[in-house]
């Protein structure tokens, strides 16, 4: 597109367009310039950019502020560091990274993702009651990730309680919600999400390959910028619904419709003992309702329960 035409569309002077193209070149964009035909984008860098993710996002809370980084230790760690600035500066802040040297999942498990192959995102949220809303946020985040993926792909995404996103029982994404309540019960919560986008099968450790997949392995070529934007919009919408019981009920119904754990016989740990039984339901706080093998029914919180084995239905 010619510089004068592009300038008119953008409301800029031609010299400003030329300067902007030069700036894009410094960021790694390859743009051809022709004296008559103007500019043509040849190639874009693999990384995510703040401006691309946040432009016209239309969110009310989640993603109002976005930081896209290169190599970090962990996006959740950076989110906690940012949260020290307080709610006015950090509520809704989203931190995305290309690579994590110490990415983690639940119970200290490592999150494995080569550079530029995933959407790795952590969001800071300040909530009035951390203990109750931690589990509800896990459900909201899992549902948001599932819906964001489906908006970009032709896949049916399920939720494996409490924090895995699966396609045909293979994990494609995970959620990690961490909370640090203050003395009054409120405080910051960090919602972390990792989505496998373009990893080849050999990128995963051999012992977990049968159980994981990337969107590319499932035949989907995903634009990570669009997926990141979709994730923030879906999470913003889900968090907004958490403001009242009606919204929480809607989230619960939609998540339950995707839950791949209902009806299964599983074994879980609460950190002190193990329990086996059949999954009957998920309660309003996203606690697992288990009919114990030895009799009786018990509820298990999403934030503190670890699933040891998943049996058949």
SS3 197: coil
pLDDT range class, residue 109, cuts 50, 70, 90: low
**279 touches 288 (CB < 8 A):** yes
Domain count, the chain: 3
Is the confidence at residue 104, as pLDDT, over 70? no
Q: Do 167 and 234 reside in the same domain of the chain?
A: yes
Give this prediction's pTM: 0.87
CATH number, domain containing residue 278:
2.30.30.100
- What is residue 83's predicted lDDT score, i.e. its pLDDT? 96
Confidence band, pLDDT 50/70/90 cuts, at residue 6: confident
- CA 150: distance to chain centroid? 13
Q: What is the CATH number of the domain that holds 119?
A: 3.30.930.10
Q: Which of 166, 161, 116, 152 is nearest to 255 (CA)?
A: 161
pLDDT exceeds cutoff 60 at 168: yes
108 and 246, same domain (yes or no): yes
Cα 121 from Cα 95, distance rounded (Å):
6
Query: What pLDDT is attached to residue 194?
Result: 96
Q: Is 66 helix (H, G, I), strand (E, B) or coil?
A: strand
Same domain? For 87 and 192 the reply is yes
199, 277: one domain: no
One-character DSSP codes across 142-179: HHHHHHHHHHHSS---EEETTTEEEETTEEEEEEEEEE
Tell me which of 174 and 8 has the higher pLDDT: 174
Are 177 and 233 in the same domain? yes
Question: Does residue 297 share a domain with residue 159?
Answer: no
Q: Kindly report, residue by residue over 195-240, the tens digit of the pLDDT.
A: 999 999 999 999 999 999 999 999 999 999 999 999 999 999 999 9
**Quick one: 182 and 301 in the same domain?**
no
Is there a contact between 142 and 148 (Cβ–Cβ < 8 Å)? no
205 lies in the same domain as 108: yes
Query: What percentage of the chain exceeds 90 in pLDDT?
Result: 69
- Tell whether 14 and 83 lie within a shared domain: no
| Same structural domain, 240 and 191 | yes
Q: Mean pLDDT over all residues of the chain?
A: 90
pLDDT at residue 134, as a whole number: 78
What is the C-alpha separation between 42 and 31, in angstroms, rounded? 5
Confidence of residue 100 (pLDDT cuts 50, 70, 90): very high
Listed range (12-26, 175-189, 260-274) with the worst mean pLDDT: 12-26
Segment 178-190, tens digit of pLDDT: 988 777 778 999 9
Residues 32 and 100 in one domain: no
105 pLDDT more than 60: no
Are 74 and 182 contained in the same domain?
yes
The yes-or-no verdict on residue 106 having pLDDT over 60 is no
Domain boundaries, position 290: 265-310
């Amino acid at each position: 597109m010619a510089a004068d035409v592009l300038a008119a569309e953008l409301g800029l002077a031609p010299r400003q367009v030329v300067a902007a193209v030069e700036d894009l070149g410094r960021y790694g964009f390859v743009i051809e310039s022709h004296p008559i035909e103007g500019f043509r984008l040849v190639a874009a860098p693999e990384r995510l950019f703040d401006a691309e993710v946040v432009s016209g996002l239309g969110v009310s809370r989640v993603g109002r502020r976005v930081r896209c980084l290169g190599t970090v230790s962990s996006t959740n760690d950076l989110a906690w560091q940012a949260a020290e600035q307080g709610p006015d500066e950090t509520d809704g802040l989203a931190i995305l990274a290309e690579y994590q040297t110490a990415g983690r999942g639940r119970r200290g498990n490592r999150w494995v993702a080569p550079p530029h192959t995933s959407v790795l995102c952590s969001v800071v949220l300040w909530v009035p009651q951390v203990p109750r809303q931690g589990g509800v946020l896990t459900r909201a985040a899992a549902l948001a990730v599932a819906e964001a993926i489906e908006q970009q792909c032709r896949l049916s995404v399920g939720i494996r309680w409490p924090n895995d996103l699966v396609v045909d029982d293979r994990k494609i994404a995970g959620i990690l919600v961490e909370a640090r309540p203050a003395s009054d019960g409120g405080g910051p919560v960090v919602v972390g999400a990792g989505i496998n986008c373009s990893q080849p099968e050999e990128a995963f450790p051999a012992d977990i390959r049968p159980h994981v997949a990337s969107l590319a392995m499932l035949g989907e070529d995903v634009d990570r910028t669009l997926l990141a934007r979709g994730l923030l919009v879906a999470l913003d919408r889900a968090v907004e619904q958490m403001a009242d019981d009606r919204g929480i009920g809607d989230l619960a119904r939609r998540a339950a419709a995707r839950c791949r754990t209902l009806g299964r016989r599983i074994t879980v740990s609460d950190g002190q003992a193990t329990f086996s039984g059949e999954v009957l339901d998920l309660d309003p706080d996203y606690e697992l309702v288990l009919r114990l093998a030895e009799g009786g029914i018990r509820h298990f919180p999403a934030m503190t329960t670890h699933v040891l084995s998943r049996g058949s239905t």
